[in-house]
Structure 1
Amino acid sequence: MILAENSQMAGPARDDIAACAPIRIGGVTLVVRDLDRVTRFYRDVIGLEPIVRDGHTLHLGVHGRVLISLRHDPYALPNVPQSAGLYHIAFLLPSRNDLAAWVHHALRLGTRLAGASDHLVSEAIYLSDPEGNGVEIYADRPSSTWKRIQEVIQMGAGPLDLRELSQSTTLAWNGLPAGSTIGHVHLQVGDVRSADSFYGTLLGFKINAAAPTVSFYSTGGYHHQLAGNTWQSGGAGARLEDTTGLAEVELLLRDSETLAAIALRLANAGKPALVDEGHLTAFDPWNVRLSLTNAPEAPGPR
């Protein structure tokens, strides 16, 4: 197991189980109507830095590595909250000290938060961007402390004291620290069984935990890289074109064999994907675009 130094040289190192998984999240693309307003949120509140603009799309990230791309379409139809698509994007910070520094920063700005939870495996804070896209900011507890029952990693949703957390570090907030990633993406789906079939059977994720209305999908012993719930979206059909919200999720695969196996399973299931050298494009049952890329090296620095 690889150990990672805290990017801001404060607090204990944490293991890199998320970064070393066979499939990990690369970046997420959102369609937005008001590019300036949404950019200010991800820059000033979340702490991302603008990296490059490509036509109508602005890419933001950390230390030159893109985490979120904002595709400007002022004429896009506003996303309906009950539709399939994004529930939240979850930014994983390197340590609890970094999370505490972000909380202090957010409270100082007067940021409106939607909630905070102790998930046993992690501590998380929730909010929404100006166009209603859900955002989670979290830090994992060391994986050695995660409780497992019959190989299922136990997660919960207990209370989290934001005031205590914000006062638990003297680390200054200077933007999202190096080593931050998108740890997971939580989706709204039309039905969990179809999500399990696509993300579990076809893409090869393990269903780490499940309930009638939600499943958590995992590789490499992580608690989850993806999740799908029907809390608002039960019975939803395919996403409509030209709407705001989630446009694409990028998945980074550790080896070409994993990519080839996924392509074969999709083809055998009658769901052929667009395959290029080291790259595959597929769509889930709700027309969410997935970009799968062979990326052997875990992102750094950690």
Structure 2
Amino acid sequence: MTDNAEGDSATAASDRDDRLPAEARIGRAALRVADLDETTAFYRDVVGLAVLDRDAERATLGAGETPLLLLERDADRPARSRTDAGLFHTAFRVPSRAALGEALGRVRERWRLDGASDHLVSEALYLDDPEGNGVEIYRDRPREEWPVDDGGTVRMATDPLDVEGVAAAAATGNGADSAALVDRAPTGTDVGHVHLEVTSLSAFEAVYVDGLGFEVGMSGPDVRFVAAGGYHHHLGANTWRGRTTPAAGRGLAWFEVVVPDAAALDAVRDRLDAVAEEGRVELAVEEREGGIAVTDADGIEVRVRRE
């Protein structure tokens, strides 16, 4: 091997150590709620998740046999204040336009739609759960159709959604003349991304880009989208509402980033240790079975575990 080849190999290895593997994804999300019964019913009947486990204090919901959302009763904790950082929305990704049409049918019949957008890479519905936690239900367009800018960054927009076209896709997907209400999101539904409200985008980048290893995609003065493997975004962060205090009330308890193996987890741990040693941002890292838990300066907990 030549010196140049050795140098190229070392650079490639270093690059891999500095970012998450392409297989990294979002796992489960957990919410603290006051009314467990009402919130469980919303995610079951409107979002379409199945109740996989339930007791007096918590409920686990998912698609098929895969858990996606944990609800934890915490009525004594105060409601999230207007200044608190925390959740903007949890985004449930369905596997087809027909499944998005089915979700639209449930929302129209059983809840209220707050917004609907065509993001060029995806089509999305927006609503709030009974406790004010944001929810997105979306489907991705095929990746080969995603527009990219001259630098290779995936380009997104917020255009009006063809709502009636999405509604009609439910009937087409079911092979029916008209869409009957479908109660459950299909197997293959997952948490495609989580969008946070933060107090500082530079602090967000220190933890989630330099520490966890996501790559910055689309960004603006008050928003960052970051991802692994060229996805449009696994995490979003914004400062649109001027949040100034760490998360303390009900709402987001934690969410997961899932990595493919122990080596990827060790690399995340090393990067986070380096960020902490540099003193660039406050963060706390704890060892957990199968992974680690990181609490950032906004009081947001992210759990990193291996498959």
- TM-score when normalising by structure 1: 0.86
Report the CA distance between 1:276 and its aligned residue: 4.3
Q: What are the equivalent positions in structure 2 for 1:6-155 lying under 5 Å apart?
A: 21-53=22-54, 56-109=57-110, 111-149=111-149, 150-155=151-156
**Corresponding residue of 2:302:** 290
**Corresponding residue of 2:261:** 255
Q: Do residues 238 (structure 1) and 239 (structure 2) align?
A: no
Matched-pair contact (CA < 8 Å) for 1:92–1:182: yes
Amino acid at match of 2:70: S
Matched-pair contact (CA < 8 Å) for 2:83–2:245: no
Q: Do residues 179 (structure 1) and 188 (structure 2) align?
A: yes
Amino acid at match of 1:290: V
Report the CA distance between 1:275 and its aligned residue: 2.4
Q: Give the unaligned 5+ runs of structure 2.
A: 1-20, 175-179, 277-282
Q: Structure 2: how far apart are the matches of 1:89 and 1:112? A: 17
More off after superposition, 280-289 vs 54-63: 54-63
1:264 maps to which of 257, 267, 270: 270
Q: Do residues 159 (structure 1) and 167 (structure 2) align?
A: no
Q: Structure 1: how far apart are the matches of 2:254 and 2:306? A: 17
Indicate the SS of the match to 2:101: helix
Q: Do residues 281 (structure 1) and 289 (structure 2) align?
A: no
Amino acid at match of 2:167: S
**More helix by percentage:** 2
Amino acid at match of 1:134: G
More off after superposition, 137-146 vs 284-293: 284-293
Matched-pair contact (CA < 8 Å) for 2:45–2:106: no
Q: Structure 1: how far apart are the matches of 2:183 and 2:78? A: 35
Q: Give the unaligned 5+ runs of structure 1.
A: 1-19, 296-302
* Aligned positions, number: 272
Q: Do residues 208 (structure 1) and 225 (structure 2) align?
A: no
Indicate the SS of the match to 2:109: helix
Give the share of equivalent positions with the same residue, in percent.
38
Indicate the SS of the match to 2:157: coil
Amino acid at match of 1:257: A
CA RMSD of aligned residues (A): 1.6
Amino acid at match of 2:94: L
Q: Structure 2: how far apart are the matches of 1:278 and 1:137? A: 29
Amino acid at match of 1:144: E
- TM-score when normalising by structure 2: 0.85
Q: Structure 2: how far apart are the matches of 1:263 and 1:69? A: 25
**Corresponding residue of 1:12:** none
Task: Give per-residue Cα distances to partners, 1:67-112, cap 9 Å, x unaligned.
Answer: 1101001212011243210000000000111111221232233x21
**Corresponding residue of 1:3:** none
